[in-house]
Amino acid sequence: MAAVKFEEALARLETIVTELETGNLSLNDSLKIFEEGIKLSKTCLKMLDDADRKVELMVQDKEGKKQLQAFTLDHDSDRGT
């Protein structure tokens, strides 16, 4: 999935729905944007179902490079180590 933003996808979906509901398009164009709309709604729903969700802590290693490590609330107050 490209770096498409949710609200952009949703806004495009809205435009498509409105266009389709107005019904001023040729059958060909209607079908084309209908397909795009279906794809967009799937993309949106997929964004709302991200199984890879994590909470990460940004820490510095010895060389001063930033690294991410998993974070849970039990982690508490041992930052900087």
Phi, psi (rounded to 5 degrees) for 68: -110, 135
13 neighbors 41 (Cβ within 8 angstroms): yes
Structure tokens at 25: 């398009």
One residue of 2, 28, 54, 63 binding another protein per CB under 8 A: 54
Structure tokens at 61: 């290693």
The footprint of another protein on this chain (CB under 8 A) covers a number of residues equal to 41
**Residues interacting with another protein, by CB under 8 A?**
5-7, 10, 13-14, 16-17, 20-21, 23, 27, 30-31, 34, 37-38, 41, 44-45, 47-50, 52-59, 66, 68, 71, 73, 75-77, 79-80
